[in-house]
Amino acid sequence: MAKSVLVIEDEGAIAEMLQMLLADEGYAVRVARTGAEGLEQARAETPDLITLDLSLPGVDGATLLRALHADGGAPVLVISAHPEVLAPADRALAAAVLGKPFDIDDMLASVAGLLR
């Protein structure tokens, strides 16, 4: 059965890009465009991995990261243009952090590594 990835990303074009790249690798991909929607989907669908943008409308990425970690669910790959905004304590909650713009192969290697 395909591993599942929940992409939490508000930028439509970037969400589409991640969905396309991950689906091409055989992952089952769902997309949430807000923090609230992401948290709801993470709890309802228990994905194997979550990719999380930090700049989200409503619930900010750091708050969402803490909530996802408290749920004890899937590892979280933070993908952000400004990962430096994460406080060290929050950064430690992420399974990995990837800056934007990312290279396709770096992103896919991070995802594969976390799902291994």
Partner 1 sequence: MEPSSLVLSRAAALLSQRHANIELRWAQRVVTFGHYQGRGDLHLADVLDHMPLLTEAIIAVLRDGHQPDAFQPGGEFYTRARTHAWTRHEQGVRPEEVIDELRIFRTEIWRELRKRLPREMPLTAEDVFVLEEHVNYALDLIVGACLQALRELETSDLWPLPPLAAEE
Q: Which residues bind partner 1 (CB under 8 A)?
A: 10-14, 16-17, 20-21, 33, 81, 100-105
CA 75 vs CA 12, 42, 107: distances in Å:
23, 11, 15
Smallest distance, partner 1 to C-beta of residue 109, A = 13
Token pair of 24 as six digits: 């091409």
Smallest distance, partner 1 to C-beta of residue 67, A = 22
Cβ proximity to partner 1: between 46 and 55 the closer is 55
Cβ proximity to partner 1: between 14 and 36 the closer is 14
Identify whether the C-beta of residue 102 lies closer than 8 Å to the C-beta of residue 79.
Answer: yes
DSSP letter at 2 equals -
